[in-house]
Amino acid sequence: MLDDEDAPIHPLFAGAPSSTEFKKLRKRIVRETRDAIEKYGMIERGARWLVCLSGGKDSYTLLAVLHELKWRGLLPVDLLACNLDQGQPGFPSTVLPKFLEDMGVPHRIEYQDTYSVVKEKIPEGRTYCSLCSRLRRGNLYRIAREEGCSAVVLGHHRDDILETFFMNLFHGGRLATMPPKLVNEEGDLFVYRPLAFVAEADCERFARAMNYPIIPCDLCGSQEGLQRVQVKQILDGWEARSPGRRQIMFRALMNVRPSHLCDPSIFDFAALMRGEAPETPSKAPGIPDLRG
């Protein structure tokens, strides 16, 4: 169905480049998004999703692909786009409403001046992201409840998930990242990341090729020196020296062996007995057995 060039398309895809390169890019992003949705069981038929739109390349890509899947009958949920204007100085507040209206996308624009709260609470020179994201998340959960949505849908991609893993490893002392699907602390909302398998570079190429009105994410002026920026630079260096390294590392997050780590809360090392092989997933092809 996705290969049918004559099939109607959603207005978000209108004016797409006709080059073979772009068609391959689009199909890859749609396929990877659909794979993530299916693999992590995100679809509840008849549900309503709050699709969070910041105006960055990732959220535009998310919005377009979800509407394309719905347009083609492959995503049986209602979609409500939402932008939370957090009162950052210089934020172009008219860009997203006009874009969404022009595209015929159901949406809600919410204004909450969390920027002033963050400025008041965070000392000068410190990064704002942690508190800012908590305040943003709380408002998005509230909006989702008010709109009768069962899920908050975010535009985090594969590289965001990898960067978070390494931030937790380097600075948090734990093996954890942003999962593609989780339930919020209150237990009443799902949080989905359908772009979990999509590379950041593909989001960048797609959004710019579509000429979406991208809003920069550094309006608060607090981006330099962030831990995430430092981790991204490390991953960029690894990728430059060994192309494909990011994808290999991401596959590792989907191939966890609790018996080959050191956490007794997820594997009962004390119960291991000689003469009994521990229960572990079957060895993937091409992975050497290092237990000998």
What is the per-residue pLDDT for 229? 85
With respect to residue 280, please indicate whether it lies within any of the assigned structural domains: no
With respect to residue 268, please indicate whether it lies within any of the assigned structural domains: no
Tokens 């957090």 found at: 86
Residues in the chain: 292
Per the prediction, the chain carries an average pLDDT of: 87
What is the per-residue pLDDT for 277? 64
Tokens 């734990």 found at: 174
Strands 151-153 and 48-52: parallel
**Cβ neighbours, 10 Å, residue 182:** 13
Mean pLDDT of 23-37: 97
With respect to residue 112, please indicate whether it lies within any of the assigned structural domains: yes
Query: H helices of the chain, where?
Result: 20-39, 57-71, 95-103, 114-121, 129-146, 158-167, 200-209, 227-241, 245-253
> How many domains does the chain divide into?
1
Higher pLDDT, 2 or 58: 58
Residue list, annotated binding site: 129, 132, 220
With respect to residue 281, please indicate whether it lies within any of the assigned structural domains: no
- What secondary structure letter does DSSP report for 169? I
Residue list, annotated binding site for [4Fe-4S] cluster: 129, 132, 220
Which residue, among 78, 147, 79, 75, has the nearest Cα to 110 in the 3D structure? 147
Which residue, among 177, 182, 181, has the nearest Cα to 164 in the 3D structure? 177
At residue 21 the predicted structure's pLDDT band, cuts being 50, 70 and 90, is very high
- The answer to which of 43-47, 163-167, 199-203, 220-224 has the lowest mean pLDDT is 220-224
With respect to residue 254, please indicate whether it lies within any of the assigned structural domains: no
Alpha-carbon gap, residue 10 to 18, rounded angstroms: 16
Quick check: 193 and 234 in contact, CB under 8 A?
Answer: no
Range of the domain at 180: 11-249
What is the per-residue pLDDT for 39? 97
With respect to residue 282, please indicate whether it lies within any of the assigned structural domains: no
With respect to residue 85, please indicate whether it lies within any of the assigned structural domains: yes
Higher pLDDT, 4 or 12: 12
Mean pLDDT of 94-100: 94
At residue 278 the predicted structure's pLDDT band, cuts being 50, 70 and 90, is low
Bridge partner list, 151:
49, 190
CB under 8 Å to 158, separation ≥6 — which residues?
195, 196, 197, 198, 199, 200, 246, 247, 250
With respect to residue 27, please indicate whether it lies within any of the assigned structural domains: yes
Tokens 């990877």 found at: 32
Write the CATH number for 222: 3.40.50.620
pLDDT tens by residue, 161-212 = 999 999 999 999 999 999 999 999 999 999 999 999 999 999 999 999 999 9
Mean pLDDT of 59-68: 96
The alpha carbon of 59 is separated from its chain's Cα centroid by a whole number of angstroms, namely 9
